Structure 1
Amino acid sequence: MIEGIVWAVFAGITLGLYALPEKFARGFAFENTWGLMFFLNMFVVPPIAALLLIDGFGNILSAIPTDILLKMAVASLLWGIGVMMWGKAINYIGLSLGFSIFIGTVILVGSLLPFLVDAAPDSKVLLTILLGILIVLVGVIANGRAGMLRQAGEAKTPETRSMGTGITIAVVGGLMATGFSYANAVGRPVIHELTQMQGNPEWVTAVAVMFVIYVAGGLFVIPYFLYQLSQKGLWDNYKTPFLTKNIGLTFLMALLNFVASAAFAFAAFKLGTAGNTVGYAIFNTVCVAVAIVSGLLTGEWAAASPGARRFLYVGLAAMITGVVVIALGNGLSMGT
């Protein structure tokens, strides 16, 4: 259990840091930065990782049953739409709040989805996990309130974006992004068996699962950004003198995101029966905590009122408390 929690925490830290490099990109609009990041994230990093790290990858991929592959593809497509909206939400409401609302929604729904695939634990374990998720919900509400108070205290300018719109985008995107949890729960057992047949170590399963999820998710995201870049005439932005630096920053974002997801998948495996639920909650909550701290350090809340900051801190504390309760529930399920 401890090893699984450590991997889930590592995954959360990595995901919490993945969007930070965007703040240092120059000469790019939202569509330039995130379009390039998603292209690298979904169509470049996963194939390279799969080919370099997985023995017999072609055989594994071709042996995945069609029905499993189809379920994973549909769920992953929804996830791809959700993460695209996540990037948009961050652009509207900032790193810390964008992570809080989006990931909070993901935890609330995505932590329960695996129970549709895996058998639900006994009532004592289930009630403990549900209590933890409810505490996380309190944190999400507090973070949303923090965002509203922050915007109320900001000077109104023509550039001011709607906090309500950003929060809505984050919530809807979070709901769709829970397809990731379902795809992992459906595909991991079969893909794990196939990777073991090829003589791979256990952790390789996570890389294979993420290959399917990321490539399928990119089938919507990449055409969407190609259309947006053309519609808004933003292709010329790639002629910026900062292009090399921006490519490096977006590649770092893509790599951190993929590593985080693969580490989560391995954590879920190590956490046992309720691993998908518990690992998902820990992974995402740690990610929120890291993103909030990053947002604070980069000045997102410098001008926020004391009241807004208090709600932000309460929200963060509630989400961390909720994850501790969820972890306790997992401990009960494993008899530790």
Structure 2
Amino acid sequence: MFIGIAAALVAGTMLGLYALPGKYTSDFEEENKWSLFFVLTMFVVPLVATFSLLKGVGSIYSGIETNILLTMIISSFLWGVGVMMWGKAIDHIGLSLGFSLFIGTVILVGSILPLGIAISKGQSLPSTPALVAILSGIAIVLLGVLSNGKAGLTREADEAAMKSDEGPESSLDASAKTKSYALGITIAVVGGLLATGFNVAFTYGAGPLGDAVTANGNPGWMTAMAVMLPVFLSGGVVMTFYFLYQLSQKKSWGKFKTPAFGKNFVLIFIMAFFHYAASAMYAFAADKLGANGPVVVYAIFNTTCLVVAVLSGILTGEWTKASPGARRWLYTGLVCMVAGVLVLAFGQTLDQAPPTEAVADLVSVLKPAGV
């Protein structure tokens, strides 16, 4: 159990910190940083990890049905757009808000989606105690998302007021910043909605790929790696076309020719490794904790990720110009989302399925869609 809990903490920490090294790149525009990141995290790291660690890769993918693969690819395109928007949101509004708004939206949609699917298929809903707990958790997380949005708008107003006091030219800069904050909040929320495509891809692919993974002598937790390869490759295609366009339109190709490229590459590779490894570590942790593993890991992972991301944003000075009121909204949002995640996890334990069924179902339903 200790190994599973430790792995969940490491996974949450890695995802919470993955974007932090990007704050220390130099001589790169936003397009340079994120295009290199997505090349590494969507193509290089998954391909190297899959072919290095997974046995029988060819056999695993040769047996998957075409309709399942197409569903995974289409869902992965949406997820790719969502993750791309997440990166842009972080550039607009920082780590603290970018993470909390995005992850909060993912948790909300990822929790509501199974209920909607059950209703549409005429399946029975969770028991009354479980349903009350799940809906309560959703409501608490929603309060957290709204509180974080309020924190961002309050911080925006604080910075605009400070710029206004500095003179007319600073007021113009503040106006531009205001638009950037509003756009960043929107991007984070919409990106979180689209990123739930990962859940769909995982739900359709985990069953057949999981059987193939174990049949080829791999541990069950490596199913996540098998699912992630087509998901990451498909999502990466969307990002490749987007950033080719952005780099050309903004004439940013020349920015790669900088003496700081080596340092930037190392920092961005760390980002890519953390981003990918968080998912694999999540699956490993769930496997180690047994039947209730996915529920426990879901709570630990998301709680750790949110806390680490918010604290790293605070420690790197994102909120130094914010008023105490703005910071109170941020802390309130964080507390609500952490509490909501714990309530959701508790609700899932009330109708616990048999061990083998629970692991398969909960990993696909509760898998954090943004990673």
1:312 shift after superposition: 0.5
Partner residue of 2:339 out of 307, 321, 328: 321
CA distance in 1, matches of 2:178, 2:203: 37
Bigger drift between 277-286 and 235-244 goes to 277-286
Given residue 56 of structure 2, which amino acid in structure 1 is its aligned partner? G
| 1:225-240 correspondence to structure 2 within 5 Å | 225-240=243-258
Q: Is the 8 A contact 2:302 2:341 kept in 1?
A: no
Q: How many residues align?
A: 336
2:121 matches 1:104:
no
Larger radius of gyration: 2
2:366 corresponding residue in structure 1: none
Partner residue of 1:129 out of 112, 122, 134: 134
Where does the alignment leave 5 or more consecutive residues of structure 2 unmatched? 164-170, 356-371
Given residue 136 of structure 2, which amino acid in structure 1 is its aligned partner? L
2:43 matches 1:25:
no
CA distance in 2, matches of 1:291, 1:188: 29
1:188 shift after superposition: 1.2
1:85 corresponding residue in structure 2: 85
| 1:31-180 correspondence to structure 2 within 5 Å | 31-114=31-114, 116=117, 121-154=126-159, 155=163, 156-158=171-173, 160-162=177-179, 163-180=181-198
1:264 shift after superposition: 3.0
Render the CA deviation track for 1:219-257: whole Å, top value 9, x for unaligned: 101110011001110000000100001111111101100
Q: What secondary structure, in the 3-state scheme, does the structure 1 residue paired with 2:140 have?
A: helix
Q: Is the 8 A contact 2:202 2:227 kept in 1?
A: yes
Q: Is the 8 A contact 1:103 1:285 kept in 2?
A: no
CA distance in 2, matches of 1:318, 1:276: 21
1:299 corresponding residue in structure 2: 317
2:222 corresponding residue in structure 1: 204
CA distance in 1, matches of 2:292, 2:69: 23
Q: Is the 8 A contact 2:220 2:287 kept in 1?
A: no
CA distance in 1, matches of 2:280, 2:21: 20
Given residue 151 of structure 1, which amino acid in structure 2 is its aligned partner? E
Partner residue of 2:327 out of 302, 306, 309: 309
TM-score normalized with structure 2 length? 0.84
Render the CA deviation track for 1:83-114: whole Å, top value 9, x for unaligned: 11111111111111111111111110023334
1:192 shift after superposition: 1.0
Residues 203 and 330 from structure 1, CA distance in 2 versus in 1: closer, same or farther, beyond 3 angstroms?
same
Bigger drift between 113-122 and 189-198 goes to 113-122
Given residue 345 of structure 2, which amino acid in structure 1 is its aligned partner? A
Residues 190 and 6 from structure 1, CA distance in 2 versus in 1: closer, same or farther, beyond 3 angstroms?
farther
Residues 190 and 124 from structure 1, CA distance in 2 versus in 1: closer, same or farther, beyond 3 angstroms?
farther
CA distance in 2, matches of 1:139, 1:176: 20
1:127 shift after superposition: 2.6
Q: Is the 8 A contact 2:134 2:348 kept in 1?
A: yes
Partner residue of 1:219 out of 230, 237, 253: 237
Residues 237 and 81 from structure 1, CA distance in 2 versus in 1: closer, same or farther, beyond 3 angstroms?
same
Q: Is the 8 A contact 1:111 1:181 kept in 2?
A: no
Where does the alignment leave 5 or more consecutive residues of structure 1 unmatched? none
2:368 corresponding residue in structure 1: none
Q: Is the 8 A contact 1:206 1:263 kept in 2?
A: no
Q: What secondary structure, in the 3-state scheme, does the structure 2 residue paired with 1:203 have?
A: helix
Residues 278 and 217 from structure 1, CA distance in 2 versus in 1: closer, same or farther, beyond 3 angstroms?
farther
Q: Is the 8 A contact 2:299 2:342 kept in 1?
A: no
Residues 4 and 209 from structure 1, CA distance in 2 versus in 1: closer, same or farther, beyond 3 angstroms?
farther
Q: Is the 8 A contact 1:274 1:330 kept in 2?
A: no
CA distance in 2, matches of 1:65, 1:6: 36
The percent of aligned pairs where both chains have the same amino acid is 54
CA distance in 2, matches of 1:171, 1:43: 26
1:203 shift after superposition: 2.0
Residues 123 and 58 from structure 1, CA distance in 2 versus in 1: closer, same or farther, beyond 3 angstroms?
farther
Render the CA deviation track for 1:101-150: whole Å, top value 9, x for unaligned: 11111110023334538975433223312211211111111111001100
Q: Is the 8 A contact 1:46 1:258 kept in 2?
A: yes
Q: Is the 8 A contact 1:110 1:179 kept in 2?
A: no
Q: Alpha carbon RMSD of aligned pairs, Å? A: 2.5
CA distance in 2, matches of 1:199, 1:144: 47
